[in-house]
């Protein structure tokens, strides 16, 4: 359930070397003769941990504005393959496939409309796909840049998230913002942003367990 | 015209509230009828959004009306009105007030049950009264429709009674609520 001891030790060594290097760099005015340690070799030894989601404890929702009032819907079915380690951002990767048919806004009429040709058009595009390209550490956590393919349109969408190790796994919580019309979500009458807001907020909370 | 209710007439505030609510009720029936004939879509959504905004406006005006009435007693019924007629008038007015609250409240709850929060003219959002539930929605929708038919019946009775007072009893009861009528007594 946990990373192998060997890899953890290597990760610790790399982290220590990196922090020493960082300390040296952040003190440029220090006396010249201070010996500068050799740059860390930064080998790709720290590998991300491959996680799967615990479906019952994982949620993917979006919030839009309809006729002036916000509404929130969930996707009941999605698969997220999360390869992540804060020490191995370069090798980390999220790959998420969302079953658009599983949209649930607690109203059958609205769900039916959203599945229809003018909104998600699930018969033609049954899934949406998000895959990351890169990760960055931020003050609040992490930011991933990735591509979202929705309704046949692919666009870059950054997501901000927090990652926390838990007993036996990890949690991943974050959010993203998209403009629905960038993806053609809303054709015909539904192109109007006066009654259906263009801004849509996506929130996710994933309970992760390491893959075996 | 005095602002508060005088001995024989409703004042400006009571009249303004009465007639604005009356006009909004007409708008509500028209919007509801138009929306009911439409398939699911943006046009229906827009009509119902306006219906909800006007409905919440009626609810606020009804609260103001009731509060105003508590502090400004309406003019008394004509002395020669029979006990029976007074009873009918009291019952009709009580039913009108009850429905002025019951209609917006069941509509509001209906929206909450369908997980459509109620916006007030896109300016702010009212909190949901109950959680999403398809069963509650159906019950509330049927109640809202039934109450709308009851409201229509009571409004018709109210209008007929006003006309009866004016043309049959000739007691000036209708004129008490007309802004531009002379405060003449026909008694």
List, for residues A37-81, the tens digit of each pLDDT value.
555 554 555 799 999 999 999 999 999 999 999 999 999 999 999
Residues A142 and A181 in one domain: yes
Residues A78 and A150 in one domain: yes
Element (H, E) at A93: strand A93-99
Total-model pTM: 0.81
Window A:27-86, CB contacts with B under 8 Å: 66-71
Question: Does residue B128 lie in a domain region?
Answer: yes
Cα B80 to Cα A191: distance, rounded to the nearest angstrom: 63
The residue that leads in pLDDT, B42 or A30, is: B42
Mean pLDDT, to the nearest integer, of A106-123? 97
Angle at which helix B42-71 crosses helix B83-113, to 10 degrees, equals 140
Question: Does residue B1 lie in a domain region?
Answer: no
Domain count, chain B: 1
**Alpha helices, DSSP H only, in chain B?**
12-36, 42-71, 83-113, 134-164
Select from A29, A46, A63 the last residue of a domain: A46
What is chain B's mean pLDDT, rounded? 92
Residues A120 and A22 in one domain: no
Cα A116 to Cα A163: distance, rounded to the nearest angstrom: 35
**Which chain A residues are Cβ-neighbours of B121 within 8 angstroms?**
68
Cα B33 to Cα B30: distance, rounded to the nearest angstrom: 5
Minimal Cβ distance to B117: which of A69, A189, A190: A69
Question: Does residue B149 lie in a domain region?
Answer: yes
Question: Does residue B6 lie in a domain region?
Answer: no
Question: Across the interface, do A105 and B121 touch by the CB < 8 Å criterion?
Answer: no
| Structure token pair of residue A152 | 């046949």
Distance from CA of A64 to the nearest CA of B (A): 11
- Is residue A16 over pLDDT 90? no
Residues A25 and A67 in one domain: no
**Which chain B residues are Cβ-neighbours of A63 within 8 angstroms?**
none
Whether A166 and chain B come into contact, CB under 8 Å, resolves to no
Q: Which residue from B40, B43, B109 is spatially nearest to A109, judged by alpha carbons? A: B40
Please provide residue B4's backbone torsions phi and psi, each rounded to the nearest 5 degrees. -90, 170
pLDDT at A46: 76
Mean pLDDT, to the nearest integer, of A17-23? 44
pLDDT at A34: 55
The residue that leads in pLDDT, A200 or A17, is: A200
Cα A192 to Cα B57: distance, rounded to the nearest angstrom: 26
How many residue pairs from chains A and B have C-beta atoms closer than 8 A? 54
Residues A143 and A42 in one domain: no
Question: Does residue B68 lie in a domain region?
Answer: yes
Residues A94 and A10 in one domain: no
Distance from CA of A198 to the nearest CA of B (A): 15
Please provide residue A199's backbone torsions phi and psi, each rounded to the nearest 5 degrees. -80, 130
Domain count, chain A: 2
Question: Does residue B34 lie in a domain region?
Answer: yes
Report the CATH number that the domain containing residue B114 is assigned in CATH.
1.20.950
Q: Which residue from A19, A172, A45, A196 is spatially nearest to A96, judged by alpha carbons? A: A172
Residues A144 and A167 in one domain: yes
What is the value of ipTM here, to two decimals? Answer: 0.83
Minimal Cβ distance to B40: which of A106, A109, A196: A109
pLDDT in tens, B36-83: 999 999 999 999 999 999 999 999 999 999 999 999 988 888 888 899
**Which chain A residues are Cβ-neighbours of B39 within 8 angstroms?**
none
Distance from CA of B117 to the nearest CA of A (A): 6
Report the CATH number that the domain containing residue A76 is assigned in CATH.
2.40.128.110
CB A49 within 8 Å of CB A210: yes
Residues A34 and A68 in one domain: no
**Alpha helices, DSSP H only, in A57-123?**
108-115
Mean pLDDT, to the nearest integer, of A112-136? 97
Select from A46, A61, A78 the last residue of a domain: A46
pLDDT at B9: 86
Question: Does residue B44 lie in a domain region?
Answer: yes
Q: Which residues of chain B have pLDDT under 50?
A: 185-187
* Beta bridge pairs of residue A71: A64
Question: Does residue B182 lie in a domain region?
Answer: no
Q: How many CB atoms lie within 10 A of CB A106?
A: 19
A102 pLDDT band (50/70/90 cuts)?
Answer: very high
Distance from CA of B115 to the nearest CA of A (A): 6
Range of the domain at A100: 49-210
pLDDT at A212: 74
Q: How many CB atoms lie within 10 A of CB A52?
A: 18
Range of the domain at B132: 12-177
């Amino acid at each position: 359930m946990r990373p192998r001891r060997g890899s953890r030790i290597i990760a610790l060594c790399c982290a220590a070397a990196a922090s020493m290097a960082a300390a040296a760099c952040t003190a440029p005015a220090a006396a010249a003769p201070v010996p500068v340690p050799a740059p860390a070799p930064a080998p790709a030894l720290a590998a991300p941990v491959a996680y799967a989601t615990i479906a019952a404890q994982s949620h993917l929702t979006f919030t839009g504005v309809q006729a002036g009032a916000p509404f929130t819907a969930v996707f009941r079915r999605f698969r997220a393959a999360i390869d992540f380690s804060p020490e191995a951002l370069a090798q980390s990767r999220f790959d998420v496939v969302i079953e658009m048919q599983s949209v649930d806004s607690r109203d059958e009429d609205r769900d039916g409309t959203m599945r229809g040709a003018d909104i998600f058009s699930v018969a033609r595009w049954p899934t949406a796909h998000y895959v990351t390209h890169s990760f960055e550490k931020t003050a609040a956590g992490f930011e991933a840049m990735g591509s979202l393919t929705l309704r046949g349109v692919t666009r870059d969408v950054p997501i901000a998230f927090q990652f926390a190790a838990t007993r036996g796994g990890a949690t991943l919580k974050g959010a993203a913002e998209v403009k629905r019309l960038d993806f053609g979500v809303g054709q015909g009458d539904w192109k109007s942003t006066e009654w259906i807001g263009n801004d849509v907020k996506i929130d996710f909370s994933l309970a992760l367990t390491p893959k075996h | 015209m005095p602002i508060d209710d005088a001995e024989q007439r409703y004042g400006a505030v009571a009249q303004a509230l009465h007639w604005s609510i009356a006009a909004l009720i007409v708008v509500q029936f028209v919007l509801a009828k138009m929306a009911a004939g439409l398939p699911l879509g943006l046009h229906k959504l827009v009509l119902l959004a306006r219906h909800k905004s006007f409905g919440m406006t009626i609810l606020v005006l009804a609260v103001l009306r009731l509060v105003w009435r508590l502090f400004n007693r309406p003019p008394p019924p004509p002395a020669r009105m029979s006990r029976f007629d007074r009873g009918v008038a009291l019952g009709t007015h009580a039913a009108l007030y009850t429905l002025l609250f019951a209609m917006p409240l069941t509509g509001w709850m209906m929206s909450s049950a369908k997980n459509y929060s109620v916006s007030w003219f896109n300016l702010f959002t009212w909190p949901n009264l109950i959680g999403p539930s398809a069963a509650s929605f159906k019950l509330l929708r049927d109640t809202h429709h039934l109450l709308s038919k009851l409201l229509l019946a009571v409004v018709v009775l109210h209008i007929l009674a006003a006309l009866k007072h004016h043309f049959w009893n000739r007691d000036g009861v209708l004129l008490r609520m007309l802004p531009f009528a002379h405060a003449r007594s026909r008694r």
